[in-house]
Amino acid sequence: MLDTRFRRYRQLIGRFVAQIPFARKRILCRYSIAVSVTTMLSNTKAIVLKTIPYSDSKRIVALYTRQEGRLSAVLQIGSKRGCLSLLEPFSVVDLTIKKGKSTLYYINSIQRHLIFNDISSDIRKRLVAVFMADVVYHTVKEEFTDDTLYDFLENSIASLNESRDDVFKFITIFLLEYGRILGFYPNINTYTEHSLFDMKSGIFCRIPPLHKHFIEEDDTADFVRLLEVRYSNPSEIEYSQQQTNRLLDIVLEFLELHVSDFKHIKSLDILRQII
């Protein structure tokens, strides 16, 4: 009787032990699938926003990509120092990237997608590109994806390269259109003659609001003319340098009131000192 029970126990234990290798195989199989997904390479167009030194041979690059949105990626420089020229702010590049275990991506390959000779050779345009990239860097969150925003940014870089307009007028119109895409734009339908512009509410009014963030009638008239300008053709309107600077300050204040993390960009001060 005891021998029979003992044999049954041995059989049960043997069956259990025999299943263990298969369980291990299934676990390993699941793990290998997870690893393959994590390390899968993807190709994307990207706009360089900022480059941060990580070590002598590595850089962390902030990018706005078409497929993945805003992300940060590690680039191994090594002996290929020539690729640093691809990392100028607002450069448009083709990337092969893979995602690491954290939120960081890794750049497997990088090459220039579009060449903008005027921006490369004109110090004013290079500073404008730095400013525009800084604005996007500080206001777009990681992993935020929007094809409309990507197309707008790439088209803006091409427009800057071809532009012969005053750089401050270009910046002002860029900021207005950028705010529109983010969802913040003055309600021009509320405008009537002799109006003031309430920057906090984004509407035009006849009576001054009970706060300091509004612009007077003369500046409002200039501002409305700016709102009517097509982004693709800023040359259709002319302002004096004083008017242009004033309008830029108005747009900056408007965005600071409405766009989170929008802050004063030092590169704009440098640009104003040079020009």
One domain for residues 171 and 258: yes
pLDDT per residue over 117-167, tens digit each?
A: 899 899 999 999 999 999 999 999 887 889 999 999 999 999 999 988 888
One domain for residues 171 and 266: yes
| 170 part of a folded domain | yes
One domain for residues 77 and 23: no
User: What is d(CA 122, CA 118) in angstroms, rounded to the nearest whole number?
Assistant: 6
| 137 part of a folded domain | no
Where is the domain boundary, 57, 87, 117? 117
Lookup: tokens for 40: 């899968």
List CB contacts of 217: < 8 A, sequence separation 6 or more: 194, 195, 196
Residues pairing with 70 in the sheet: 64
Lookup: tokens for 73: 């990626």
Own/partner pairs for 105-112, CB < 8 Å, 24+ apart? Answer: 105/68, 105/71, 105/72, 105/73, 105/74, 106/73, 106/74, 107/61, 107/73, 107/74, 107/75, 107/76, 108/41, 110/75, 110/83, 110/86, 111/86, 112/86
Counting the structural domains of the chain, the total is 3
pLDDT at 231: 66
Q: Confidence band (pLDDT; 50, 70, 90) for 81?
A: low
H/E stretch holding 247 reads: helix 241-258
Least confident of 74-88, 151-165, 175-189: 74-88
Residues of the domain holding 88: 41-117
pTM above 0.85, yes or no: no
pLDDT per residue over 26-74, tens digit each?
A: 333 333 333 333 457 789 999 999 999 988 889 999 999 988 899 999 9
Residues pairing with 41 in the sheet: 98
